[in-house]
Amino acid sequence: MMRKTTAAVALTAATALTVPLAPTSASAAPDSGTSSGPYVTAGKPGQPGARGITAAEDSPTVQELLDKCDGGDLDVCEFHPSGETISQGEFKFAGSAANCAADSQTREINWSSTEGETNSLGITLGVKAGLKDVYEVSIETTYGHEWTWSKTTQDKLTQTVSPGKAVNLYVAADRSTVTGTYEMHFGDPYYGHYYWYVNDVSVSAPTFNTPWHTRTEETDANC
């Protein structure tokens, strides 16, 4: 889902956080070297196996495995987080107010902003019931907080504007980025193996229940 910001953030600016990596699960992805995205490996329970050990023609694709998990067409599908980082997202223009009077004036800027999900899988994970349920449970269990796939906030900012000037408002939300591995168990061999892993998964979304950051810039008004 793409981020969208429209005119109309007057919440107290929060300080960006960094959450230390949680202990790596036994099922976390192996060292992927120069990996450019998620990749598939076969292995044993809790042991993803080394990258490249399975020939490409004998392996399911990342999408095939994700579809199996989403559809429940397997015995076990779990997500194992290996780390979470919280950082401030990019500032986006949210609105403006001008003062063409000869004296300073108080202006109110109404704003509305939406932040959504991005991930390394090339899909909208938040609408895939099977995948997202597994993911949400793992986040709550590992890090003790809920996961928010998207959030929309409406607010207003009151600003004193100098004569002949305009004020532009920019807003930014804190975002949580989690990396980890999907582990899947099949009752019958799938592409010759019972246990498959989708490694190097990265998911980013707005943090749960945190305030927005605001920034204003003064410029000449078009009076």
CB 132 within 8 A of CB 139: no
- Condensed to tens digits (0 to 9), the pLDDT of residues 4-56 reads 333 333 332 332 332 223 322 333 333 434 457 899 999 887 777 766 555 55
Amino acid occupying residue 85: T
Residue 34 lies in a domain: no
- Condensed to tens digits (0 to 9), the pLDDT of residues 156-208 reads 999 999 999 999 999 999 999 999 999 999 999 999 999 999 999 999 999 98
Specify the pTM: 0.76
Residue 154 lies in a domain: yes
Residue 143 lies in a domain: yes
CB 51 within 8 A of CB 141: no
3-state DSSP call for residue 17? coil
pLDDT over 60 (residue 106): yes
Residue 178 lies in a domain: yes
- Condensed to tens digits (0 to 9), the pLDDT of residues 112-122 reads 999 999 999 99
Strand stretches in 135-192, DSSP E = 151-161, 165-172, 174-190
Residue 105 lies in a domain: yes
Q: How far is Cα 195 from Cα 186, in angstroms, rounded to an integer?
A: 6
Amino acid occupying residue 180: G
Range of the domain at 112: 4-28+39-220
Residue 33 lies in a domain: no
Residue 60 lies in a domain: yes
- Condensed to tens digits (0 to 9), the pLDDT of residues 53-68 reads 555 567 899 999 999 9
Domain count, the chain: 1
Mean pLDDT of the chain: 83
